[in-house]
A and B are shown apart, each in its own frame.
Chain A
Amino acid sequence: MDRDPSLLPLPDDGPVQRPFWDAAKDGKLVFQRCQNCNHAFLPGREECPRCLKPDLVWEEASGRATLYSWVVYYRPYGEAYKSRVPYTVGIVVLEEGPRFASNIVDVADPEALEIDQPLELKIEVDDGIAIPRFKPAVAV
């Protein structure tokens, strides 16, 4: 049955990327690491894009990251986002190296974020999906 279009679309449940989403259900963020050349990356692949070997394992991330860039959606591009605008999507760089696009949450004024600012993982369950999102890191 088709998912209700007012809910967030389900992530890719193909075998390659499934461990990423399964880990989120357990409260973890994972990325792939090549056993041959040590390259760490996202999204999941069948071969390492650096050395082309298939010797990949999933590894848990620390959850510490920085913000490379971000955008704020004021206009919803689809039914699921109508109740969510404004919301923020950022390019997140994990301290282990992998990069991916995620949501930046718990920010009063997203226009005032800064590039390269520290972030920390915050997994949220939203429309039944455990989603690895990020919030600004608490100053130590």
Chain B
Amino acid sequence: MRGKVVIAGMGQTKFGSLPGRTTISLVVEAVRNALEDAGIEKDLVDALLVKPPTSLPGMMTGQKVAEAMGLKPKFGMAWDQGGGAVTGCISYASFLIEAGLCDVAVVTFSDNPKSFSAASYSAALGDTATFGYVAAAASYAMVARRHMKQFGTTERQLGAIPVNGRRNGTTNPNAQLRVPLDIDEYLEKPFLISPFRRDDFALVSDGGAALVLMSAERAKQLGVPDPVPILGFGAGQESWNVELRNDLTTTMAATSAAMAFQMAGLGPRDMDTAQLYDCFSIVPIITLEDYGFCAKGHGGRYVEEGAIGLDGEIPMNTAGGLLSETGMPGMQMVLEGIRQVRGTAANQVKNVRNSIISTQGGIMQTHGTLIIGR
């Protein structure tokens, strides 16, 4: 499928606190901007794939979004995979386009946990509340502790992830948290759920984003100004709850990346930026290992030694990621990958051909990979 489908347009709302806006309104604004970026009218859209908001789960989300935009698409749905749904939707849209079953697909997401409700982020799962095992952060902290004890990953190495995100967010005018963080400040803050401190946690953010997908051929025909080809994608579902997994430090991200690299005919060394889902500091460390940027267990050392900096081996989360740009679950990583390939990023890396993006959902239950480039 390499290069046959392109991202023709991308759009977003502001990120941060957007009180008084519904998730539907945020989606409509993001799609409006994405259609404008692609230079096409909404009437061409015949597939609409929505990642539903975490703060307001509901029925028929895809159809409500279609109604708000006056669309009757052939394919319309909400995709339940948490943050992994972003690449899940992109993959499915690519199949539809490649099969000739749809012309133009829109993939979109919005949420407003900051001004509406963030209750779902601190929820307990079944019996676990009786043990005080509540909040998604705790399950990620379990993963982090195991990684630290098994491989010698240090608190300082965990801290290299938010330090990097915040460095990049500070020079991104669209970032929600534009306050630099140095490693000593990071280490001085108290534990919330050890081994995590405040800066290990994703931001809570309102916002929306959207992508317009079509075939490369169609984009040429329509005169789309700056289409970015999809070179590969992959998926892998860890699925089980954290406490039931036999191994917390290797995930199905490895399977997902292998699929994407094979489709693209590329490997880790061909990537010029990595936009890796960083809802908690430990996640991109494990993703870098599972994707083959460094050996298993070496992720902490790799990030501490500067590999992910803007002038490093693989500049990572160049817009700030979930720890600084916006806590939105995933689509901002795709947007930044696109900007880097187009050469329009606030923290532009030189000579970018390819960007790799990871998404994931739940507590690493779902995972998706996307490779874009020219």
A-chain residues with CB within 8 Å of residue B195 when the two chains form the complex: 71
- Supply 10 A–B pairs (Cβ within 8 Å), ascending by A: A9-B129, A9-B130, A11-B127, A68-B146, A69-B248, A77-B122, A78-B124, A78-B129, A91-B142, A103-B131
Q: Which residue of B lies closest to A89 (CB)?
A: B133
Q: For chain B residues 139-192, which have a beta carbon within 8 Å of chain A? A: 141-143, 145-146, 149-150, 190-192
Q: For chain A residues 1-42, which have a beta carbon within 8 Å of chain B? A: 8-12, 17, 20-21
B122, B133, B145, B146: which contacts A101 (Cβ < 8 A)?
B133
> Contact string, A32-72, partner B, CB cutoff 8 A, digits 1/0?
00000000000100000000000000000000000011111
A-chain residues with CB within 8 Å of residue B194 when the two chains form the complex: 71-72, 74, 111
Contact A78 to B122, CB < 8 A, known contacts A9-B130, A89-B133, A91-B243: yes
Flag whether B126 is at the interface (Cβ < 8 A): yes
> How long is the Cα–Cα vector from A101 to B245 in the complex, in angstroms?
11
Is the beta-carbon distance between B135 and A91 smaller than 8 angstroms? Answer: no
Contact A99 to B244, CB < 8 A, known contacts A69-B143, A77-B122, A115-B149: yes
Contact A10 to B130, CB < 8 A, known contacts A69-B142, A70-B142: yes
A-chain residues with CB within 8 Å of residue B131 when the two chains form the complex: 89, 101-103, 131, 133
B-chain residues with CB within 8 Å of residue A69 when the two chains form the complex: 142-143, 145-146, 149, 248
Number of A residues with CB within 8 Å of any CB on chain B: 36
A11, A12, A77, A131: which contacts B134 (Cβ < 8 A)?
A77
Flag whether B128 is at the interface (Cβ < 8 A): yes
Contact A71 to B126, CB < 8 A, known contacts A87-B132, A89-B131, A131-B131: no
Residues of B bordering A, CB below 8 Å: 122, 124, 126-135, 138, 141-143, 145-146, 149-150, 190-196, 242-244, 248
B-chain residues with CB within 8 Å of residue A80 when the two chains form the complex: 129, 132
Q: Which residue of B lies closest to A85 (CB)?
A: B132
> How long is the Cα–Cα vector from A99 to B126 in the complex, in angstroms?
15
Q: Which residue of A lies closest to B134 (CB)?
A: A77
Q: Give B331 Cβ to nearest chain A Cβ, in Å.
A: 27
Is the beta-carbon distance between A129 and B127 smaller than 8 angstroms? Answer: no
B126, B149, B190: which contacts A114 (Cβ < 8 A)?
B149
Interface SS of chain B: helix, strand, loop or mixed? helix
- Starting from the known contacts A71-B138, A115-B149, 9 additional A-B residue pairs (CB-CB under 8 Å) come to A9-B130, A69-B142, A71-B193, A74-B193, A75-B192, A77-B138, A101-B243, A111-B194, A129-B130
A43, A89, A103: which contacts B126 (Cβ < 8 A)?
A43
- Residue with the greatest number of chain A CB neighbours at <10 A, chosen from B132, B145, B190, B192: B132
> How long is the Cα–Cα vector from A17 to B125 in the complex, in angstroms?
14
Is the beta-carbon distance between B191 and A8 smaller than 8 angstroms? Answer: no
Q: Give B93 Cβ to nearest chain A Cβ, in Å.
A: 32
Contacts between chains A and B (CB distance < 8 A), count: 90
> How long is the Cα–Cα vector from A71 to B124 in the complex, in angstroms?
15
Q: For chain A residues 75-113, which have a beta carbon within 8 Å of chain B? A: 75, 77-78, 80-81, 84, 87, 89, 91, 99-103, 111
> How long is the Cα–Cα vector from A129 to B150 in the complex, in angstroms?
34
> How long is the Cα–Cα vector from A81 to B124 in the complex, in angstroms?
13
Q: Give B247 Cβ to nearest chain A Cβ, in Å.
A: 10
Q: Which residue of B lies closest to A87 (CB)?
A: B132
Q: Give A94 Cβ to nearest chain B Cβ, in Å.
A: 12
B-chain residues with CB within 8 Å of residue A131 when the two chains form the complex: 130-131
Q: Which residue of A lies closest to B245 (CB)?
A: A99
Q: Give A39 Cβ to nearest chain B Cβ, in Å.
A: 13
Is the beta-carbon distance between A12 and B142 smaller than 8 angstroms? Answer: no
A10, A20, A68, A103: which contacts B132 (Cβ < 8 A)?
A103
Q: Which residue of A lies closest to B142 (CB)?
A: A69
- Residue with the greatest number of chain B CB neighbours at <10 A, chosen from A10, A20, A70, A87: A70
A-chain residues with CB within 8 Å of residue B126 when the two chains form the complex: 12, 17, 43
Is the beta-carbon distance between B128 and A101 smaller than 8 angstroms? Answer: yes
Q: Which residue of B lies closest to A93 (CB)?
A: B246
Is the beta-carbon distance between A99 and B132 smaller than 8 angstroms? Answer: no
Q: Which residue of A lies closest to B190 (CB)?
A: A74
A-chain residues with CB within 8 Å of residue B124 when the two chains form the complex: 9, 78
A-chain residues with CB within 8 Å of residue B134 when the two chains form the complex: 77-78, 81
> How long is the Cα–Cα vector from A126 to B28 in the complex, in angstroms?
50
A-chain residues with CB within 8 Å of residue B243 when the two chains form the complex: 91, 99-101
The 9 closest A-B pairs by CB, nearest first: A69-B146, A9-B129, A71-B141, A115-B149, A101-B243, A72-B194, A75-B192, A11-B130, A77-B135
B-chain residues with CB within 8 Å of residue A103 when the two chains form the complex: 131-132
> How long is the Cα–Cα vector from A21 to B127 in the complex, in angstroms?
10
Q: Which residue of B lies closest to A41 (CB)?
A: B244
> How long is the Cα–Cα vector from A78 to B133 in the complex, in angstroms?
11
> How long is the Cα–Cα vector from A100 to B192 in the complex, in angstroms?
22
